[in-house]
Structure 1
């Protein structure tokens, strides 16, 4: 990933020239070049054909968000995707939960480090890896929200430990941090929930529904809608 290119991409997005497919991924591909061309065309139009128009006032570059994930939690590794889950437990991370995920987020947004290192899930997965997704652990980072114990999908009942807005907001920040660290583009095959794995990756799962509903926002329904919301909010934090 080229950090200079990534800074340019963030500037383009801030100025209203979106990069919907790949975002600020540090790769100067066709999408970035097209956005640069549009920006230059608009600048030329505002200055006039001779370039002697009034100065164009541009907004300042946005400051990058502070990282939520400690650097030591993100060792060097080649990772392909991030899969997001809920624990189907309480609002606190148990030792069992910590053994299955790289990171967990409690009800108040507090981050808890899982026991396995992300490095162990680098393909091919090594002994002691985080077994968070059936037949899809190699190259996958597992992040889980501590919630939804005793819940029911239909009719929807979030149970005694519903997903909180604080957890969700922390999750989108964590995903953004991981995408920056591991140069993972935000797409529906690289940043997704457990409920999307079977449809998006073609890997059969066991009727997983995390996430098909968001307890804090009942208007969002279905795996794709929840996944799209996750990706859009994470991309905005890059």
Structure 2
């Protein structure tokens, strides 16, 4: 398996490889920053050393993952990242993305507010409330209270980051969002969209910062996610949200 084949394998497993190459899908044979980041996420999920390099053990794991997908032994694409018991039956209409405004590891408080959290190194953490508690038919006691007046039928996904961040002038604080977290986000959202039949639109897959403007539900000056600490050129909730939805759509 060469680098181009490895990129194609990761793409087939539901990872966002970027927009380079002839088909603008990230398959270009250049093992650059995006490929290394995605490879490290794959390695971490398989219990391998997350070096981002195409090692023999990584190639073996990639071949096994693709074979399992093709044989129907595993879930296709992005769904392979989330255990089935994280995805109970529920009526869900949207996914809302946040940052915790905390440190890079999920605290007990963080876990009480969100269904799924992504730590700085792309490790996925299950929140305390079940997704079923936020059913569209009405929330249950102990539900994930992640968005003001918009928790019913909403899954809360949060990146563990941005403690002490300041919106203007922008300062990402002591725990800035990492590229690894952002890269791990689209496969998680895509898995949720597959499971709960959620279309990818600005009203159904959005960040907390987009809720007030898009859904008309007043929030308390929330600006997550309207900046990417690792890419300061991207500014504003709409810009970040559009990038996020485009990446999720490519996986579906």
In which range does the TM-score fall when normalised by the shorter chain?
0.7 to 0.9
Deviation, 1:94, is: 0.2
Q: Distance in 2 between matches of 1:145 and 1:116?
A: 17
Q: Distance in 1 between matches of 2:163 and 2:83?
A: 28
For the pair 1:88 / 2:72, whether they are aligned, the reply is no
Deviation, 1:65, is: 1.8
Deviation, 1:237, is: 1.3
1:151 equivalent among 159, 165, 187:
165
Q: CA RMSD in A?
A: 1.4
Matched position secondary structure for 2:85: helix
Deviation, 1:99, is: 0.3
Matched position secondary structure for 1:112: strand
Deviations 1:100-148 (A, max 9, x none): 0001000000000000000000021111100000000000000000000
**Matches for 1:1-238 after TM superposition, within 5 Å:** 64-66=76-78, 67-123=80-136, 124-238=138-252
Deviation, 1:151, is: 0.6
2:41 — aligned with what?
none
Q: Distance in 2 between matches of 1:229 and 1:71?
A: 27
Q: Distance in 2 between matches of 1:87 and 1:196?
A: 16
More helix per residue: 2
**TM-score with structure 1 setting the length:** 0.73
Q: Distance in 1 between matches of 2:174 and 2:212?
A: 28
Deviation, 1:179, is: 0.2
Matched position secondary structure for 2:190: helix
Q: Distance in 1 between matches of 2:224 and 2:82?
A: 22
Q: Distance in 1 between matches of 2:193 and 2:199?
A: 7
User: Could you list the runs of 4 or more consecutive aligned residues of structure 1 that deviate by over 3 angstroms after TM superposition?
Assistant: none
Matched position secondary structure for 1:93: coil
Q: Which ranges in structure 1 are unaligned for 5 or more consecutive residues?
A: 1-15, 17-61
Q: Distance in 1 between matches of 2:171 and 2:184?
A: 23
Larger radius of gyration: 1
| Aligned residue pair count | 178
2:11 — aligned with what?
none
**TM-score with structure 2 setting the length:** 0.69
Matched position secondary structure for 1:83: strand
Matched position secondary structure for 2:158: strand
